Structure formats: C-alpha cells, structure tokens
C-alpha cells in the first residue's frame, strides 16, 4: 500500500497525464496561444508532424505554429480544389467536431487548396504542404495529389481529441513510391452493405490507398445485377449455409444467405470511390470458382449437371465449358461490367481452376481437338487470351491471378502474384506488369496474433511487422524489369468474416503498414518509428469509429506452474513488443506501474492486470489474467498444440449455430483433427474431462482430398482417443461418443487415466470419418484423484 506522500504524488501525476492517455505523446504538450495571436491565457494541444502514416517522402520542420479551430477558413481555387476542401472539412468535422467554412477564391490567411499547373512532379499523386503561423497552403498539379495533401493535414488534426489545436510549421513535399496501393474485398463469400463499403473506401483514402479490388463472384455467391440473366440473382446470389445455420429455428425451413448489388448501387459505390480518388477494379472469377453461375445456368458448366450454390470453403471443381454459347454469356456479362466500372483493369480471376471436369467432359475434349489444343493447361491459356482480346476491344486491360501465366499469356495482360512473389518475378521477366499480393505476406484472412481473442480465420500469422517488412520489388529483377512492379495489394478473403466487425478487425491496423510500404521511400521506412506513430493512428481510428483489431495491443500471459508447491511463473508479452506494465493488486496499470522485465514468480492464486504502453501512451485497456491451481489444470484449444506429421491444416473455425448471434470458435486441423497437451503434469491425475463440439465438415479439398485422414471408429459414432507420449504414443483411454451433442451444442466426456503417469505429451483425437460432421475440441481438464 503506498504511503500518503507517494499517493499524493502518484495521484497528481496520473491526473496530469489523464488527457494524454490514448493520444500521441506530442499531443500532451501545450503551446501558449499568444504565439498564435490569441489570448495568452489559452493553451492549445499541439499536433506532432512525426505521427504521419504513411511517412512522407520529405518533411522539414520550421519554427512556429498555426491555430486550427472553427474560425479557420478554407480557401479553394477552382472546382477540383473546392471538392477537396469540402472533403477535408467533412473529415475534420467527423474526427474533431470542428465545422470549417469553405470559400472559393484567393486565400487571405486560413488554409489554401490550389491546383497549380506549374507544380512539377512525375506523379499525379504528388503534393506539397506548407504550414506557417500566417496560413497553410496545399498545392498539387492534380486533384489526386491535392487530396493526399489534404489527408496529411487531416491526419495532424485527427491525431488529437480537440476542437482547437496547433499545427506545427512544416514543409512537406510528397509523392508515392508505387502507383498501385490496393486492398481487395471479397463480397462473394460474405456480403457487405453499400454503406459499409463506402466506409471502407473513406478510410482507404485516408491511408492514401488508391485501388479497391472488388471480388464479386465465386462458388459461394454471385453479387452483380445482370438483368439479361436474372437467375444469377435469384439463384446464384443465394446459398443455404451448412449445418444449423441453414435452418430457421422458428419454422424448421431452410434459411438462405442472399445478397447482390444492383447496378444503381454499384454506380453509387464507384462514384463514391472516384470522388475519393480510388479506382474500383471488379473481378469476375473464371474459368474456375463458378459454381454459383453453374447453379443458375448449368448449360455453361462443363458436365451439364446442376449443383447448388456452394456452402463450403476451399477449392471447388466446377469450370465453365468452352463452347460458343458460354462465351456469349461471358462476354455479355463482361460488357455489363465494363459499363458499370470505368477502371482501366478488369480482373478475370484465373486461379485454382482444377482441370478434372474439362478432362471428363466429352464436349470440352471435342472442342480441344477442333482447336488443336494439346492439354487443359493450354486450354486455359486459350480461354484467357480470348477474354483479353474481348476486353482489349473495349479499351480495357485484363488482370488475373498468377495462374494465368500457365500456358502463355498475352503481352498486354497484367499479373497479380498471390502464390508468393515467384509468379510476379516470372511475369516481370516476360514483360508483364505485376501487382504483388503474396498470401504469406498480404493475406488478411490470416490472423495477426496468437491471442485467444482472435476471430475465426487462418491461425498462420500475417503480422503487422510482416506486412510492413514486405518488399514488393524482388532483388533478382534487373533495373529494366523492376519498372513492371506496379505496386502491392492486401487481400481480404471473407470465408470466416460473417460480420463487418470481423472485416474491420482483419484490415485495421495492418492497412497502415500496407499504406506505408506502398507510399514511403524504401530507404525511409523504419518499423520502430512506425510503432511509435501507432498511438496517433489508433486515435484517428477511434475518431472515425473504425472497429480496428485490439489483439495486437493487448497483453498475453502464460503460466508455468509447480502444482505441488502452489506457485507459478507468469510470462507477459505484447504481440508487437510494446512495453508492458502490470499490477497484482487488482488496480489498473498506469505509467507508474511496474515495467515487466521477466517472468513473475508468484504464489497461487493470483490476478495480474497488464497493459501495453508506447512511452506514456496507453494503447488499449488492461488485460486481466487470473491463475489458480484449478485453472492451470485446463487447456483450451487455443493453448493446445497440433499433432506433428499429420498433414495438418490448422484453421480457426466458427461453429454452425446458433443461427444468429455469437458462436463458439474452435482451433482444428481439418486434414487430421488432433490436439496435443505438451508436457502435461499427470502426477496424481485420475481422469481427463474433455469438452467437445460438433460442426459440419464444409471444405472442398480438390486434389488435396487424399491428405484428409482419420482413425477408423470402433463404435457407431466414434470415440475420444487419448494417447500418452504424443500422437503416436500408447492409447491410455478410449471413450465412445454419442450421435450428437447436448442442447447447448457441446458434449462433456470424462474418461479415466491410468495412475502412475508422470509428465507426458497428452494427445486427443476423435475417431471416425470427419464427413459430414466432425468433432472439435473446446477444452481439456485434468481431474486429480480424490484423497
């Protein structure tokens, strides 16, 4: 307990810093308003030009400050500059609550926005920003550059929670490193509203991104209104979700998941993006990923059968056929897409086209013989070349995933390299333009931390640092070929993103790292400096109502216990490596709390509260970790390892029910469901209690199907198998399982363990075919023998 003197000092310091928490360190300084020709009694929070994301190409600090408040007037010269000024005013109103007037004409103090034909730069997105005590000037040769300058100015204001603030005097000369700075949104797997997509576009613009790649068609849904083909909307836009989620609990009838964008809505979204200097690149994925189309119009499929719109994830086998009626359909749809989207590029997919149906189709094989095409890879190349010719006639450029390289590619085609950077290297060396979007660096459906609070997704991590450190221009390319690297793009595949909150969690804050990699000169990038600027960025997100991921900023805790002694060593960590402060008395950590420096030795039970700090800036609320002798006998699925050498593919999966609301989440390896408690202390343990759930096996594996393994069941519904010594160790328990779970969707199974076991790797497996449904482990608890 602190002494009275320490308590007074601490309280005074905490009170003085209260306004600084959750905002940048520099925002805690104040500037006498007299230096800004206002009353000397005023103190203004001061923005820090060192908090900008992406970092500008050139920034020179100067003496002095400019006051921004409701009296500040925005001056704009010309129609384009007026649009930018009004957009800036709206953004400042949203983030700071400051209402700014826009006046057309010459500046007389205030903030001046001007399109200047004499402005010299190789990029139309370049700008200059001058802030001085007497006024602010934003200059560019093009509306796009002027908008970026306005964004930089907005970032300074939005990093503070203030309706009157001081902007530091600076001179910024800035231009992007790459011309393609993109984000892909998958609306085919899960559907987003028009307003949600507009919100995303708004925040993309405030990161200086310039391309929204919109994935609108896939096996699980068709999302574009095409009036000539109404079944695309009435059939292709709806699927019946797998398992419980596909049944209305009130009526027992099927409950479809539907959605498509009308042409009017698409034009509205495109216009919204254009006003924010963002190109919308549509994707019509083919010749594969077309099961939703074939469900609506089976005559365009390769085998003539009628599948449902898929409710499963993974690689599907449905392909377009290659006859003339099918190409008439494809070209009709492409013509509609071209009319809706003014983008230079039209994305035609081209990925994961498993050729089995083409091989099995007599019609396709006959067509290949007529065309003199030797194999199915060459057929896909012919297919892509035909699409390219059609788009070229419409004045557009074909863009596709890197599989379009297979078999040869038209010179005008552009490649988006997703299977790594190798496809991009090959394409650039062949003279094709390239957008780098490798899955292991820039796929945002991969989780960003190992926190148990992460939503469903792929647990293999794409971290904030991984995105930041990605270099789009491979060293192996010579100087001539490097010019073909247009830029980079992060992809948001939404199989596991049932809600808009999850989409935002996936995108933010990793989009900030993407933005800096795409904009800032390579030699000026600095990850430590980027992390130091992150508190200001989080304040901007909060000001805009962005539901960013908090998991990178929380504090995780692990405990190694000595059950016999009733003690534990607790390790704390922040995924991004920020400083961690903690308490053990139940109080909220602050800047005077102990700084974590190593494992905390403690008696049990103990409750540790911990938070991450950047300097004096609290990043998020405190995490609470309670440990006791009883709690340390339990491991959740997140805490358990996966069994090695089992062809594992670990996913973080959401249960299929309830139909609405929150659902349980399970970590499971879908090729061989198996969970491993490493180095379990089994001394004095008589049994293990395992909580299981059950969910549909909703995965299409295509040629990976042989990798799916399971142990044969010895009873009607399979068993829970427990092995000591790892996943190939001795079976120490086998418990038959029932046909289904309880009413709550779970099943608890308690099975005895042989006495006398010491420390061992304890393996949990369920036997029986994983299709049509598989058991998944929620948690395991060791049960001590009763005295």
- Same domain? For 245 and 354 the reply is yes
* Residue 2 in domain: no
* Residue 6 in domain: no
Tell me the C-alpha distance between 185 and 192, whole Å: 9
CATH number of the domain to which 290 belongs: 3.20.20.80
- Give the model's pLDDT for residue 646: 64
Supply the residues annotated as catalytic. 352
* Residue 9 in domain: no
Tell me the C-alpha distance between 203 and 183, whole Å: 11
* Residue 586 in domain: yes
DSSP lists the bridge partners of residue 301 as 320
- Same domain? For 364 and 423 the reply is yes
CA angle at 696 for the pair 694 and 698, rounded to the nearest 5°? 145
- Give the model's pLDDT for residue 756: 87
Tell me the C-alpha distance between 257 and 312, whole Å: 13
Q: Count up the domains in the chain and report the number.
A: 4
Which range marks the domain in which residue 682 is found? 634-784
Residue linked to tokens 């909580």? 691
Q: In the structure encoding, which two tokens stand for residue 401, read together?
A: 């995933």
- Give the model's pLDDT for residue 42: 53
- Same domain? For 539 and 561 the reply is no
- Give the model's pLDDT for residue 647: 61
Which of 521, 544, 567 is the endpoint of a domain? 544
Q: pTM here?
A: 0.94
- Same domain? For 254 and 384 the reply is yes
The DSSP line for 53-120 is SSPPSEEEEEEEEEEESTT-EEEEESHHHHHHHHHHHHHHHHHH----EEEES--SSSEEEEE-TT--
- Same domain? For 351 and 373 the reply is yes
CATH number of the domain to which 585 belongs: 2.60.40
* Residue 280 in domain: yes
- Same domain? For 215 and 118 the reply is no
Handedness of CA 756, 758, 764, 767 (dihedral sign): negative
CATH number of the domain to which 759 belongs: 2.60.120.260
Q: How does strand 685-696 pair with strand 719-724?
A: unpaired
- Same domain? For 489 and 584 the reply is no
CATH number of the domain to which 102 belongs: 3.30.379.10
| Cis before 61? omega within 30 | no
Tell me the CA end-to-end span of the chain in Å, nearest whole number. 39
The residue ranges of the chain whose pLDDT is under 50 are 1-41
- Same domain? For 471 and 504 the reply is yes
- Same domain? For 147 and 201 the reply is no
User: Residues, the chain, total?
Assistant: 787
- Give the model's pLDDT for residue 328: 98
- Give the model's pLDDT for residue 705: 92
* Residue 10 in domain: no
- Give the model's pLDDT for residue 106: 77
**Which pLDDT tens digit goes with each residue over 165-180?**
999 999 999 999 999 9
Handedness of CA 527, 533, 535, 539 (dihedral sign): negative
DSSP strands (E only) in 194-240: 211-215, 217-218, 221-222, 238-239
- Give the model's pLDDT for residue 105: 84
Contact 178, 518 (CB under 8 A): yes
* Residue 549 in domain: no
Helices and strands (H, E) in the chain, number of each type: 18, 41
- Same domain? For 625 and 646 the reply is no
Distances (CA, A) of 475 to 193, 471, 490: 41, 9, 21
Which of 492, 516, 544 is the endpoint of a domain? 544
- Same domain? For 290 and 398 the reply is yes
Which of 629, 660, 694 is the endpoint of a domain? 629
* Residue 16 in domain: no
- Give the model's pLDDT for residue 137: 97
- Give the model's pLDDT for residue 396: 98
Tell me the C-alpha distance between 560 and 568, whole Å: 5
- Same domain? For 168 and 279 the reply is no
């Amino acid at each position: 307990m602190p002494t009275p003197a320490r308590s007074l000092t601490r309280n005074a310091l905490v009170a003085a810093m209260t306004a600084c928490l959750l905002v940048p360190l520099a925002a805690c300084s104040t500037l006498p308003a007299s230096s800004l020709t206002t009353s000397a009694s005023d103190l203004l929070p001061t923005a820090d030009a060192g908090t900008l994301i992406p970092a500008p190409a050139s920034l020179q600090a100067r003496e002095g400050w400019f006051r921004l408040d409701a009296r500040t007037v925005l001056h704009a010269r010309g129609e384009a500059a007026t649009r930018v000024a009004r957009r800036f005013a709206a953004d400042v109103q949203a983030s700071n609550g400051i209402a700014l007037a826009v006046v057309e004409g010459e500046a007389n103090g205030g903030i001046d926005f001007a399109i200047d034909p004499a402005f010299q730069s190789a990029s139309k997105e370049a700008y200059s920003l001058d802030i001085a005590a007497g006024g602010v000037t934003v200059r560019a040769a093009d509306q796009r550059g002027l908008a970026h300058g306005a964004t930089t100015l907005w970032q300074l204001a939005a990093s503070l929670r203030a309706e009157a603030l001081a902007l530091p005097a600076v001179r910024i000369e800035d231009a992007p490193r790459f011309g393609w700075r993109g984000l892909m949104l998958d609306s085919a797997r899960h559907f987003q509203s028009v307003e949600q997509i507009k919100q995303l576009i708004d925040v993309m613009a405030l990161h200086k991104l310039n391309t929204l790649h919109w994935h609108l068609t896939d096996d699980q849904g068709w999302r574009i209104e095409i009036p000539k083909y109404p079944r695309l909307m009435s059939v292709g836009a709806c699927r019946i979700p797998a398992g419980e989620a596909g049944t209305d609990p009130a009526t027992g009838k099927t409950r479809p998941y539907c959605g498509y964008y009308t042409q009017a809505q698409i034009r509205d979204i495109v216009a919204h993006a254009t006003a924010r200097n963002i190109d919308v690149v549509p994707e019509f994925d083919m010749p594969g990923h077309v099961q939703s189309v074939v469900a609506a119009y089976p005559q365009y499929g390769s085998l003539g059968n009628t599948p449902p719109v898929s409710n499963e994830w993974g690689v599907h086998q449905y392909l377009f056929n290659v006859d003339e009626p099918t190409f008439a359909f494809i070209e009709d749809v492409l013509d509609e897409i071209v009319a809706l989207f003014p983008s230079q590029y039209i994305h035609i997919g081209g990925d994961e086209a498993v050729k089995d149906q083409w091989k099995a189709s007599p019609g396709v094989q006959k067509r290949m013989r007529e065309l003199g095409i030797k194999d199915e890879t060459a057929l896909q190349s012919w297919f892509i070349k035909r699409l390219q010719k059609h788009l070229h006639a419409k004045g557009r450029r074909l863009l596709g995933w890197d599989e379009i390289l297979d078999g040869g590619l038209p010179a005008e085609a552009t490649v988006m390299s997703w299977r790594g950077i190798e496809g991009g290297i090959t394409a650039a060396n062949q003279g094709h333009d390239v957008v780098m979007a490798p899955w292991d660096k820039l796929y945002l459906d991969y989780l960003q931390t190992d926190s148990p609070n992460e939503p469903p997704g792929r647990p293999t991590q794409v971290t904030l640092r991984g995105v930041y450190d990605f270099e789009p221009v491979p060293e192996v390319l010579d100087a001539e070929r490097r010019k073909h690297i247009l830029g980079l793009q992060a992809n948001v595949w939404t199989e596991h993103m049932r809600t808009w909150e999850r989409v935002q969690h996936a995108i933010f804050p990793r989009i900030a790292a993407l933005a800096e990699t795409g904009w800032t000169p390579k030699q000026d990038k600095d990850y430590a400096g980027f992390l130091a600027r992150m508190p200001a960025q989080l304040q901007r997100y909060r000001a805009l109502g962005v539901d960013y991921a908090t998991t990178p900023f929380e504090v995780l805790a692990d405990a190694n216990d000595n059950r016999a002694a009733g003690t534990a060593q607790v390790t704390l960590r922040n995924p991004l490596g920020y400083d961690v402060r903690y308490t053990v008395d139940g109080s909220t950590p602050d800047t005077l709390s102990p700084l974590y420096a190593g494992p905390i030795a403690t008696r049990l039970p103990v409750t540790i509260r911990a938070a991450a700090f950047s300097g004096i800036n609290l990043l998020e609320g405190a995490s609470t970790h309670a440990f006791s002798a009883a709690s340390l006998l339990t491991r959740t699925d997140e805490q358990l390892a996966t069994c090695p050498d089992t062809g594992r593919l670990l996913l973080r999966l959401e249960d299929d029910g309830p139909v609405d609301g929150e659902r349980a989440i399970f970590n499971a390896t879908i090729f061989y469901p198996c969970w491993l408690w490493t180095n379990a202390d089994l001394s004095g343990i008589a049994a293990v209690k395992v909580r299981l759930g059950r969910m549909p096996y909703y995965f299409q594996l295509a040629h990976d199907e042989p990798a799916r393994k399971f142990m044969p069941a010895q009873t009607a519904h399979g068993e829970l198998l427990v092995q000591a010594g790892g996943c190939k160790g001795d079976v120490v328990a086998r418990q038959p399982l029932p046909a289904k779970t309880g009413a709550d969707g779970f099943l608890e199974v308690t099975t005895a363990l042989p006495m006398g076991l010491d420390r061992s790797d304890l393996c949990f497996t369920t036997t029986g075919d994983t299709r049509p449904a598989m058991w998944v482990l929620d948690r395991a608890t060791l049960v001590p023998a009763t005295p």
